[in-house]
Chains A and B, each alone.
Chain A
Amino acid sequence: MLLNSFVLGSAFNSGDMIYQLIAFIILLLLLKKFAWGPLMGVMKQREDHIAGEIEAAEQSREEAKKVLEEQRSLLKEARTEAQGLIEGAKKQGDVQREEIIVAARAESERLKESAKLEIEQQKEKAVAAIREQVASLSVLIASKVIEKELSTEDQEKLINEYIQEAGEGR
């Protein structure tokens, strides 16, 4: 009995074969429609989703990198600009200082110059005044001499008198 149906014995039933074939095909189609198809769809969807997410992450990383670079360059620019401003201010200060010093020096020179001039003028004036006085004195002396045409005796006496007078006047 055991050996009878063992390999190719009475176990071959044509109906079973046809039934198995049809059942398998039906199972295949049903599973495709109700189970594997949707499942594959979800897996595909997830695959796409993950790919999209990775791409988005890549993109945002790229963007962040770009922004960072931009910020860095901006910062650098600002720094150099500040440096330039400080440098400029310093230079301007130097120039101004120099200018002020020069101006002050010129002013003092001018003041000194004008003072000197004034002194000179005053001196000249004084000299002129003295000269004038001397002249008038000599005229006075001359007139006095002319007024008195006297003897030599008298003349001598007169001169002495005047000299005396002059000495007293001083």
Chain B
Amino acid sequence: MHHGAPIKEFMGLTFNLGNIMMITIASAIVFIIAVLSTRRLAMKPTGMQNFFEWVMDFVKNIINSAMDWKDGGRFHILGITLIMYIFVSNMLGLPFSISYNGELWWKSPTADPAITLTLSVMVVALTHFYGIKAKGARAYGREFLKPFWIMSPIKIIEEFANALTLGLRLYGNIYAGEILLSLLVVDLAGSGWIGKISAILPTIAWQGFSIFIGSIQAFIFCMLSMVYMAHKVSRDH
């Protein structure tokens, strides 16, 4: 990763234009795939509809493993969107990366901590929101004093730790994958024809493994989101 980033400042905020572009592309791809495959809906599903119904059932199972469907049904759409968006984002950086004028443009948007942390903080914020909605502010606040009031600092830290680990886990996996890929492709393959030949096999292997990691990380992110949500929403503990 011997690249800079195309950073621009606008209205006091700093924008990494590469990230902006990749976020847009990932969102667009998810949206286009989803809309195209659910355009002709039928009682007897065919082709892509089958695939998306499988995804829905998959996420439904994730939610069901964490909490009651009565509580968790409203997070179904959030879960599907999360898993699809993160999966597509993870896959985007795999086939190639594009840098222009020494600035990295094409990469996985999830290979940036700012983006993964945004997603994870959003999820944790949503857990607080739905927790308060489900239990009321007083009962929800009292949860932090259980089982002993002395535990409350740990509980508060836990919330931040959750957000941090959720985001950084995803970021670390994808970023590390991209670094290794760029090392293989740019540095090893750039060091003469012996390097080129010897880089082919590990590159293929690592790309395959990265597909696996990307899928697993999307699944883990979705599952942990639902687990955190279940902690806040469910009434029994």
Q: Which secondary structure dominates where chain A touches chain B? A: helix
Asked whether A34 and B35 contact (CB < 8 A) given A11-B114, A13-B14, the answer is: yes
- A39 CA to B109 CA, complexed, in Å: 27
Top 9 closest A-B pairs, CB basis? A15-B15, A35-B34, A15-B13, A13-B14, A42-B41, A17-B118, A20-B118, A27-B27, A16-B19
Q: Which of A43-51, A129-137, A156-164 forms contacts with chain B?
A: A43-51
CB within 8 A of B81: which of A31, A42, A45, A49? A31
B15 touches A16 (CB 8 A): yes
Residues 16-68 of A at the B interface (beta carbon under 8 Å): 16-21, 23-24, 26-28, 30-32, 34-43, 45-46, 49
A-B contact pairs, 9 of them (CB 8 A): A15-B16, A16-B114, A19-B19, A24-B81, A24-B85, A24-B118, A35-B34, A43-B53, A49-B43
Residue picked from B34, B56, B85, B114, most chain A C-beta under 10 Å:
B114
Q: Which secondary structure dominates where chain B touches chain A? A: helix
CB-CB nearest in chain A for B53:
A43
Q: Which of A1-9, A88-96, A117-125, A146-154 forms contacts with chain B?
A: A1-9
CB-CB nearest in chain A for B172:
A7
B7 within 8 A of A: yes
B113 touches A38 (CB 8 A): no
B122 within 8 A of A: yes
A13 touches B41 (CB 8 A): no
CB-CB nearest in chain A for B116:
A20
Query: Residues of A within 8 Å of B, CB-based: how many?
Result: 37
Chain B residues within an 8 Å CB radius of A46: 43
B23 touches A19 (CB 8 A): yes
B70 within 8 A of A: no
What's the A-B contact tally at a CB cutoff of 8 Å? Answer: 127
Chain B residues within an 8 Å CB radius of A32: 77, 81
A11 touches B56 (CB 8 A): no
B113 touches A15 (CB 8 A): no
- A24 CA to B83 CA, complexed, in Å: 12
CB-CB nearest in chain B for A6:
B175
CB-CB nearest in chain A for B14:
A13
Asked whether A13 and B16 contact (CB < 8 A) given A20-B118, A31-B34, the answer is: yes
Chain A residues within an 8 Å CB radius of B5: 5, 11
B98 within 8 A of A: no
CB within 8 A of B15: which of A8, A19, A41? A19
Chain B residues within an 8 Å CB radius of A39: 38, 41, 49, 52-53, 56
CB within 8 A of A11: which of B31, B84, B113? B113
B41 touches A38 (CB 8 A): yes
